[in-house]
Amino acid sequence: MDASPGASNGVSTVTDSIGLTWRHWLYFVLITLVLLADGMEVTMVSHTFPSLAKEWGVSVGGGITLVVTGGFIVMAVGALVAGRLADLFGRKSILVSATLLFAVTTALGATSANFTTFTAWRFLACLGIGAVMPTGITLLADLAPARQRASLVAAGYAGVGLGTVVGAGLAGLLIPTGGWRALLVAGGVVSLVLALLLAFVVPESPAYYAAHGAVDKAKQVLARLAPGTDLSAVVVAGPSDDVDKQEAFAVILSRRFAATTVLLWLFGFFSLGTQLLIAQYLPTLLQQPVPGLTTVQSSTIVGTYGFASVVGGLALSGILARVSRYRVIGFALALSVVVALAIGLAPDPGFGTLLLLLTIAGLILPTAFGPTRNILATAAYPARVRGTGVGSTELCARAGSAVGGLVGGTLIGAGLGLAGLFLTLLLPIGVLLSTLAGLKFDARRSGADSIAGFREEDLSLVAPETRADAPRAGATAS
């Protein structure tokens, strides 16, 4: 394989010239499985709540609500802290640590003698869960060639949706036979195994090594990604000036990135908040007097909605490999408007009509609201501050999920039904479309409006002939 990269903005990147290899796919599968464990764990715990209420007399409006709301807050803190730590100490090390944290604390939650102890273990698990998403997505983005980055991020996020299906299946299998404690132990063990596989198989980000001057380690990762590639004439360029060495938060809030950062925070807040508002309250809405579905009918629709979301995420992944992320996300949001109107204006729909409409909604809505914030954030920042940028976006997304849950509960409590709630979704969708337009304008202004997204010379793995100030072949940049 030829190691000479192709030019991009005057810079040739070795990672892009390599393209996708079998090792990329191996690392993608393992990271996606960790994201699946993230979604699985959240779903499993939600299935333990009825058992906890019976065993300890905990009320849904009291202790359970405290665990759910507090968990979202802790996840938000975990996302922000982990994103910054990933830029300081490495994406892989923080991802492995976060996975180990939620694996062990989930299993230890099964030892709880009372609800207070359970809550403590749960909050520790949520700290790890919040940290997994930004670090896993950042590591996946760093290892992927730029042109396939958005596509792989979207496909990886689909693992979260698949995890909810797996978690629900485990709950149905284990709770009737072994109780909620057996479910938590099983989930913890599965996540622990995945954390160990991640630690021993997946490498650290070469861009992280480059940013910290670890030239030889960056080359070693490239050699693992494409065995047999001649890297002898490649230099790894680190930070080139004082601006490049600024603290990460100073960079994402600098004049160059401030508008993008604020828009991403807004997009993350409304995207995840809207997605989880639907997921949290759909069973309740379906079983209201109108439309008045049974528990079995409601569960069937919710299960189909969840499975369709996985299919939609994979479809998004395939499209993003060929089309600009702004066009794809904008089209998905436009379809969301059509779906919201169709459900909101459907005249007295029954089970069959709702099954069809909400299956279509499952293909579109989670796809438009779920992975899109991460697709935009990973493409918006240079690699050396990508963890901080993705983490801060995830912080706002988790805050949006807490607010979305509160707003949804308030509206439903005031008498808003299924049709009214879906019509209400037009407001956040409008905000998301406006925010996306702002992000596209800012990306075009900064020259990052492409399928690949942001590229930066100071963190590229480059061939010396493409960089005017690079050392001679075989030398390394500091």
Which tokens in the block code for residue 294?
């049974």
Residue 457 has pLDDT above 60, yes or no: no
The predicted model gives 314-330 an average pLDDT of 90
SS3 7: strand
Strand partners, 462: 235
CA distance 270 to 233: 46
**Sorting pLDDT into bands at 50, 70 and 90, what band is 53?**
confident
SS3 16: helix
Residue 259 has pLDDT above 80, yes or no: yes
Task: Specify the amino acid at residue 145.
Answer: P
CA distance 330 to 319: 13
Mean pLDDT check: name the lowest of 138-152, 170-184, 218-232.
218-232
pLDDT tens-place string over residues 346-360: 988 999 999 999 999
pLDDT at 58: 81
Residue 2 has pLDDT above 50, yes or no: no
CA distance 100 to 471: 42
CA distance 358 to 196: 38
| Consecutive H or E run containing 250 | helix 248-252
Which tokens in the block code for residue 267?
């997009």
Residue 100 has pLDDT above 80, yes or no: yes
Residue 377 has pLDDT above 90, yes or no: yes
pLDDT at 426: 96
SS3 131: helix
| Consecutive H or E run containing 66 | helix 65-89
**Sorting pLDDT into bands at 50, 70 and 90, what band is 462?**
very low
Mean pLDDT check: name the lowest of 106-110, 236-240, 399-403, 418-422.
236-240
The predicted model gives 268-278 an average pLDDT of 90
pLDDT at 198: 95
pLDDT tens-place string over residues 174-200: 988 999 999 999 999 999 999 999 999
CA distance 415 to 276: 19
Residue 466 has pLDDT above 90, yes or no: no
Residue 214 has pLDDT above 60, yes or no: yes
Is there a contact between 476 and 215 (Cβ–Cβ < 8 Å)?
A: yes
Is there a contact between 218 and 210 (Cβ–Cβ < 8 Å)?
A: yes
CA distance 160 to 258: 29
Q: Model pTM greater than 0.85?
A: no
Measured CA to CA in angstroms, residue 297 lies from 146, 147, 359, 418, 420 at distances of 44, 42, 13, 15, 20
Which tokens in the block code for residue 356?
């069809």
**Tokens 């996020």 correspond to what residue?**
157
Q: State the number of CA atoms in the 13 A half-sphere of 379 facing the CB.
A: 32
Mean pLDDT check: name the lowest of 160-164, 266-270, 467-471.
467-471
Query: Is 472 or 247 the better-scoring residue by pLDDT?
Result: 247
Which tokens in the block code for residue 80?
């922000």
